[in-house]
Amino acid sequence: MPSQRIDPQQIAYLRPNEQRDLLNVLDKYAECFCDDPGLCTLVQHEINLLPGFIPKRLKAYRVPERLKPQVSKEIQQLL
């Protein structure tokens, strides 16, 4: 069941009744949850911007050395 894969420390910020409710929803709708990301083609999403909106161009930022192995691993999984 999905609720059994949740580490209690991850939801410790919730009140006990909220934790119970969350875990019940996860179990009730278990078929909706999966560990592998997927592609949803049921709905086309759109973000409407204000007229004249120009996105800010931000400089790339360095990944801290201690996080580089995890970032590399996740990039490889995505590729």
Q: Is residue 64 a part of any domain in this protein?
A: no
Q: What is the tally of structural domains in the chain?
A: 1
How does pLDDT run across 8-44, given as a tens digit for each residue?
898 899 999 999 999 999 899 888 877 777 777 888 8
pLDDT, average across residues 36-56: 85
Residue 8 belongs to some domain of the structure: yes
Distance in angstroms (rounded) separating the CA atoms of residues 32 and 59: 38
Contact 27, 3 (CB under 8 A): yes
Residue 55 lies in a domain: no
Furthest C-alpha separation in the chain: 49
Q: State the residue range of the domain holding 28.
A: 1-37
* pTM: predicted TM-score of the whole model, two decimal places: 0.46
